[in-house]
Chain A
Amino acid sequence: MAVTKVVMPKLSDQMESGKIIKWLKKEGDRINAGDIVAEIETDKADVEMEAFGAGVLRKILVSAGDKASVGSLIAVIAEEGEDINAVVGQAGGGAPPAAAASAAKPAMADRPAAVPPQPKSEDHAARSPSPSRGPESPGGQRAQQAVAQVAATPTAAPAAPAAERAAGDGGRVKASPLARKIAAQSGVDLRLIQGSGPGGRIVRRDVEAAAAAPTPTPAAAPALRTVTPSVGGPEFEDVALSAMRATIAKRMPLSKAPVPHFYVTSEVAMDRAWELREELNALEGQPKISVNDLIVRACALTLLQHPGVNASFQGESIRVFHRVHMGIAVALDEGLITPVLRDVHAKSLAQIAAEARDLAERARQRKLRTQELSGATFSISNLGMFDVRDFSAIINPPEGAILAVGAVRRVPVVTEDGLGVGRRMAMTISCDHRVMDGAMGARFLHDVRRVLEEPLRLLV
């Protein structure tokens, strides 16, 4: 069985480290893929972290209340009896590449339960890399990106190749002689640069770009690797459309141009819904419920009462649906896909949570069946995980509307006694004006909001 390293996810471009608010699982708990294992506080939002591997939570390396830098190992999931010493030990010996910029953590293996918060040190000595890491490694780069997209990553895939590589080549930086000289003269650390030459070799333009860029802060260094601004070389390149991109390119103008969109935005107080979710997620034997699952359920219930929104323009008539099939937009590296959760109006929160998770996961693995990709009567697009405040989406014809959902944010709110902190979430519905009018959209949105603000309605 595989050993799954749980690393601190990179939840925003600026994120350097995250704080574990609490572990929802304890050492020894059995974990299924998709389970929420912890809640993490970043400088922007509180985010729940899913496990992507299954097994037993064998070791928690960063305890609740402590911070860890992006990409560093915070827990290990493995089967009972599986040897995890190597993985846990690695955290001390060779830090995973993403963590490299912000000091390896030799203490981790020895004092797993009480790692002190990482100082955001600008000091070069503090971030001087361990000799075994391979910062120039393209593998390391991929690992960084993988970490950025998933909360926890399966097996040893992200960190291991970089570590192996580094050990294999003795930490040698692949760079052209000219790149080395210019780096030495301009004070650029080659170990912090991603090469753009053959096999990731660092060439002159990489060094010049790095020298021209502002001095990277430790955690910004990995981001630097991906970007090599250059004033030389070709001015552009034409990237062939992937099949998915071609489909999106074909379909979206078919919506945006002929379908007269209008937009209605509303803000929801999510405090009670958040509390309800925490209570539900504390229940034994229930699938973990995400904020999006609550919204799916709220929309499904409300659509039954607003059939005019659950409708499609048919040229000579408007088709009003009696059942709700919910399209849930899932962002993929190469585009976007909207799997459909059928008869969602007749499903409990637990069913929605389990099925939505399954669809999203299979969407990422490109394992959806075609019938799971069509037939939606209404769609939801949620960009909350990107800390988006609000946005508006393009209707996916022949559907009549789509709901765009932003992040649940902790914001100052006016209470009876003055100011307090509340959780707020913006949502914007895009409607086909041929099917419905502004007031219809507004009434629908009002009722969705009401369900979310009186969340017990979600349970009945």
Chain B
Amino acid sequence: MPAQKFDLVVVGTGPGGYVCAIRAAQLGMSVATVEDDRPGGVCLNWGCIPTKALLRNAEVVHLFERAETFGITVQGMTADYAAAVQRSRGVADRMAKGVEFLFRKNKITLFPGTGTLTAKNAVEVRGKDGGVTTLEAGRAVVLATGSEPRSLPGVAIDEKRVISSNGAVRNEAKPKSIVIIGAGAVGVEFADVYRSYGTDVILLEALPRIVPIEDEEVSTQLTRSLSRRGITIKTGVKVSAVKPSDGGVVVETDGGRFDAEQVLMAVGRGARTKGVGLDALGIVLDRGFVKVSPMMETSVKGVYAIGDMAGAPLLAHKAMAEGVVAAEAIAGKNPRPVDYGNVPSCTYCRPQVASIGLTEAKAREGGRDVAVGKFPFTANGKAVALGETEGFVKVLADKKSGEILGVHIIGPEATEMIHEFAVGRTLEATLDEIMHTIHAHPTLSEAALEATLAALGHAIHI
């Protein structure tokens, strides 16, 4: 069969790929997409979206459990974990259908199957039925094949006893006990979900603190919050072996043995590059990820790579931003490159964690004079009214210029609040501009204003 011709062929329809495809279609290109799973990628199907549904369930369970603090008596409350997973699947399905709808709306053709680059302008699609279609790209190929969970050396993920997030998000049966290896965003979020549904959770982290990329004070606060909910946290612990046992698995570490029904490997993700055809074209990798220019072009002209496979941070919103840059660059526009120093980071456990810019330790590197402003939610009227007073807003600024160097929020709706500072940093606002912005009362965002005032040395409400 002759090759089917498109201006652009996008391999992978995760948040990077589908956004890139839509933007390219908006710019007048004919676009083909290739997907070996459902449109939407890990994010919509197995990652961001379904886990947010599970976390919402966890939050509702939590609200019922402490209904009495609101003067509400609940009797005979049961929380069905299988139902939570089913609800989560329903949410994911709806979002994936949304992507299919957007493809139709933008006249983007979806080719189900595995895409392999056979030339810099040709992608071979091998369907599940074995049929092969060849797509020819008139202008460019964008690779967006994403990432997959990594494991530790010698530990095989069987998705039964040793599971990854892929298994965790699908399994309708919850374990009685689980050891979660890795306390980054994925580990912490599943710790929250499982604990809320009554599982005994042991959270292991090799680094000295949980959520290690976040500001140290945030790690401390989150450790306190999760411990209070009965999650066992061991940091600075190195796993030497994961072995099957009678009741499930045993995790051997330099800090002791931990028995559990299951182990969740949450030690990070690696680029999904196998079978994509990178080697044949000589596309250059950098520590396992595809090396790209600021316009997302790989070492081979006309071949672009975006999202997780193009390197850290492995975040959906970073992938989307890269997808837009790639599409616009291919269309001959001159897009602004992604500002990797201004990508918000969000973890959706309870309390939520969100940050942007530098941590305090990083900000102080090089001897810069840093102003620190911190404001606890216990002093915020809205937070008290909500009964969600855990956490704080911490603002770091250059003392001389007032430049906002970093912001760290742990607390209710932290992931929504961070954007005030994301916009501020994009506009190069200083503490003064945040200070002069009237924040509605009562809102959680007032804590952002107060933390800013604190950095200037004159918080009102503390």
Contacts and interface: CB of A to CB of B under 8 A. Distances in A.
A181 to B, nearest CB: 5
Given A176-B428, A203-B428, A204-B428, A181 B295 contact: no
B189 interface: no
Interface stretch (B157-165, B228-236, B400-408): B400-408
Interface stretch (B88-96, B178-186, B359-367, B429-437): B429-437
Contact of B427 (A176, A181, A238): A176
Given A203-B428, A237-B294, A240-B332, A178 B337 contact: no
A376 B403 CA distance: 61
Interface in A212-247: 233-234, 236-238, 240
A179 B433 CA distance: 13
A240 B432 CA distance: 41
A237 B293 contact: yes
Contacts of A181: 401-403, 430
B293 A238 contact: yes
A426 B428 CA distance: 53
B429 A177 contact: yes
B403 A204 contact: yes
Contact of B429 (A178, A234, A240): A178
Interface string A165-200: 000000000001111011001000000000000000
B297 interface: yes
Nearest to B295: A238
B325 to A, nearest CB: 11
Interface string A141-185: 000000000000000000000000000000000001111011001
Interface string B412-433: 0000000000000001111011
Given A176-B427, A203-B428, A185 B293 contact: no
B58 to A, nearest CB: 40
Given A178-B428, A181-B430, A234 B294 contact: yes
B295 A237 contact: yes
B310 to A, nearest CB: 14
Contacts of A176: 427-429
A106 to B, nearest CB: 37
Q: How large is the interface on A (under 10, 10 to 19, 20 to 34, 35 or more residues)?
A: 10 to 19
Contacts of A177: 402, 427-430, 432-433
Instruction: Please indicate which of the listed interface residues B400, B402, B430, B432 has the most CB atoms of chain A within 10 Å of its own CB.
Output: B430
Contacts of B294: 234, 236-237
Nearest to B336: A198
A233 B429 CA distance: 18
A236 B402 contact: no
Interface in A93-126: none
Interface string A232-265: 0110111010000000000000000000000000
Contacts of B430: 177-178, 181
Contacts of A240: 332
A182 B403 CA distance: 9
Contacts of B427: 176-177
A193 to B, nearest CB: 14
Given A203-B428, A204-B428, A178 B401 contact: yes
Contacts of A178: 401-403, 428-430
Contacts of B293: 236-238
23 contacts: A176-B427, A176-B428, A176-B429, A177-B402, A177-B427, A177-B428, A177-B429, A177-B430, A177-B433, A178-B403, A178-B428, A178-B429, A178-B430, A181-B401, A181-B402, A233-B337, A234-B294, A234-B337, A237-B293, A237-B295, A238-B293, A238-B295, A238-B297
Interface of A: 176-179, 181-182, 185, 203-204, 233-234, 236-238, 240
CB-CB nearest 10 A-B residue pairs: A176-B428, A234-B294, A178-B428, A181-B401, A177-B430, A178-B403, A234-B337, A177-B433, A178-B430, A182-B401
Given A178-B401, A178-B403, 18 more contacts: A176-B427, A176-B428, A177-B428, A178-B402, A178-B428, A178-B430, A181-B402, A181-B403, A203-B428, A204-B403, A204-B428, A233-B337, A234-B337, A236-B294, A237-B293, A237-B294, A237-B337, A238-B297
